[in-house]
Structure formats: C-alpha cells, structure tokens
Copies of this chain bind each other. A is one copy, B any other.
Amino acid sequence: MKNGTMENDDFALSCPTPILNYDTIQLAHGAGGRLSAELIEKVFLPCFENEILLKLEDQAQLEKPNGRIAFTTDSFVVSPIFFPGGNIGDLAVNGTVNDICMSGAIPLYLSVGFIIEEGFEVSELCRIVDSMGKAAKTAGVRIVTGDTKVVNRGSCDKIFINTSGIGVIPNDINLGAGYIKPGDKVILSGTIADHGMSVMTARDGLSFESRINSDTAGLNYLVRDMFKVSKKIHAMRDPTRGGVAAILNEFARSSNTGIRLFEETIPVSDEVKGACELLGLDPLYVANEGKLIAITASEDAGKIVEKMQCNDLGKKACIIGEVTDENAGKVTLRNIYGIERILDMPIGEQLPRIC
C-alpha cells in the first residue's frame, strides 16, 4: 500500500469468510433473535474462539484471579474505520490492552460491544472482527463476552466499538501518579504522533511521499520486559488522545511536581514531522496508540531503556525528560538553545474521532 491507496493483500482474513444470505447488516442482527445468533456463530465465534465465549451466556464466568484486578473501558469511534496500519478493530483491542497494562497488570479478558449502522457491509465487519481476533491473540488476551446493537441508517456513523478489559496486577507492583518524585526520569517508548497523523492523512485523502502507519499495538509484553529489569517504575500511561502533552500534564498535576522535557530527545519520524507542519499540528499533542510513557527512578532508567530497545515495540525508547521540584504542576519543554517554555494541557479538540 502506498500513498493512501489500499491493496487487497492488506486484508487477507485469517478466519474463513462466512457464507451468509446477506451482504449488509440489518436491524434484525441486533434484535436478539435468529439473525443475531447467526452473526455470533458465523462471524464472531470463529475469530474470537475460546471456550469461555463459546458458552454464549449473557456473562462470561472467569476463574478466581490471583491478585488485584485492573478494570478499564474505552469506546472507539475513529473515522475512517480503516487507516494505514490498522482499523477500528485492532485499535479497540490494543487500546484496552494498553490501558490495563499501564497499571502493571497482565491483561487477560476483554469484552466487546458493537454499535453498527444498518446497512453496514458484512465484509467490512468481517475484516474488523478478524483484526480484533488477531490483535487479541498477539496480546495473549481472550475476548470472552460481547454485545451487538444495530441502529437505523443515519443514527450512527458506520460502526462504534467499546472494549472493556480485566487484568491481574502482580502483588509486588504498585504504580500511580502518586509515586512520581523529583529526580525521576521520563521514558518514551518510541516515535510520537504516528497514529494521529495516520488517521488524519487517511481522512483528508492527503498523500505524502511515504504513507504514515498507525503505531497501534498492544504493549503488554514490552511492559513485562521493563518489569523484568526494574521494579522502580513509578507511573505509566499510554499517550493517546491529547498526546504526550496531555498525559504529562496529568502526571505533573496529580503528583504536584514539575516535568521538564528536552525537545531534541523526542523521536518524531520525518514523515510525521512533515505532515504536522503541513497541517499546523504539534506532534506532542497528537494521539499515539502503541507508545508508552514511564516515569522511573533515575538510577534504573538506563537499564529499562536498554531492555525496551530489545523489544520491537521499544526500539526507539529513550529518556526524554526529568521530574523536578520547580514548576510544580507544570510541564516545560527545553530546546537545544536552553530556552524553556510551558507545554500546556490541550484545551480543546485537535483531532476529533482519532480513536
């Protein structure tokens, strides 16, 4: 795929294409009757297959977990639903996997709630569901319960997906903004703004020399690697909506510390830099879907970064800043000339429907 056009081989399904008597979703597919049952049996089960979901009860019954639980939810309304590097389906799985593992938890189970517009192409639903199954498999999580609603044509824009998730937090792990303290280092796992710019360029039909791929990915194994070398990780967050700037402002506010970033250390790909300049956007405010920010003890930051760089999803991991006593509650950005400016919380919407 080049310049925003999509080639067919991007969409090879891993699940067999279901044979159905219709090409589009009808209201009856959400009515709890025969057509609902057929959609579940022929489209969802083959891609999400696991013995818990197969019971088809209104709730999944899960084994007693061995530890505290992390519980999270996210709705996905991204437009367009297919974009370079991913689609609303893998985005929904990876997004919830990431929200779980940012607490240090091991993600285990996901739920999925579809809201589908009447008339939506079944073939597109199959591609989305297929990507969800693949993303779940990659992250080692199981989709164990779900719900499908169909609304009349015009009552929603194609498809919205909610995923909620459950993970187990190991006993010796305690993360949270409250643990952040002056002297800590700020680690970023790779280049920023890839997801946001991928969606923006797909949306506007913009064509750049090289396409920008979304970074959508589940980060749970990267997090596992980090904990293998250090327990001195104080807080973690994935910089999605509002980007790196929003997450760090939240951290600074909750921990009442200052956070100083060094501009030249923050990795941005040339393509993303170019697209941001063209559209007048600051990459620090643009959404990521496969990156994490960790605030760690200074003494362990180096070895954490080294370990991250051994994982494909952390190849460009680096230290981008430090936690300070000064400027409590604020984030500042220092450029190569030593000039420092405040990096504010985003006020409004830079990019609606980015995730």
Contact = CB atoms under 8 A, between A and B. Distances in A.
A34 B79 CA distance: 23
A37 B345 CA distance: 10
A55 B246 CA distance: 17
Nearest to A76: B149
A240 interface: yes
A157 B155 contact: yes
Nearest to A285: B33
A276 interface: no
A240 B73 CA distance: 23
- Most chain B beta-carbon contacts within 10 A, residue among A75, A103, A113, A241: A75
Interface in A55-108: 55-77, 79, 99-100, 102-103, 105
B99 A72 contact: no
Interface of A: 26-28, 30-37, 55-77, 79, 99-100, 102-103, 105, 109, 111-115, 144-147, 149-152, 154-157, 160, 162, 164, 166-167, 169, 176-177, 237-238, 240-242, 246, 250, 254, 345-353
Nearest to A160: B115
A164 B112 CA distance: 9
B73 A69 contact: no
Nearest to A98: B58
A69 B69 CA distance: 11
Given A58-B102, A61-B68, A62-B68, A31 B241 contact: yes
Nearest to A353: B151
A242 B33 contact: yes
A37 B247 CA distance: 12
Contact of A68 (B63, B73, B160, B350): B63
A145 B71 contact: yes
A91 to B, nearest CB: 13
A352 B30 contact: yes
B65 A64 contact: yes
10 A-B pairs closest in CB distance: A32-B241, A32-B242, A164-B164, A73-B111, A28-B348, A33-B346, A59-B72, A162-B162, A31-B349, A27-B349
Given A59-B100, A71-B145, 14 more contacts: A27-B349, A31-B348, A33-B246, A36-B241, A57-B103, A58-B237, A62-B69, A73-B112, A75-B149, A113-B113, A150-B349, A152-B353, A154-B157, A155-B353
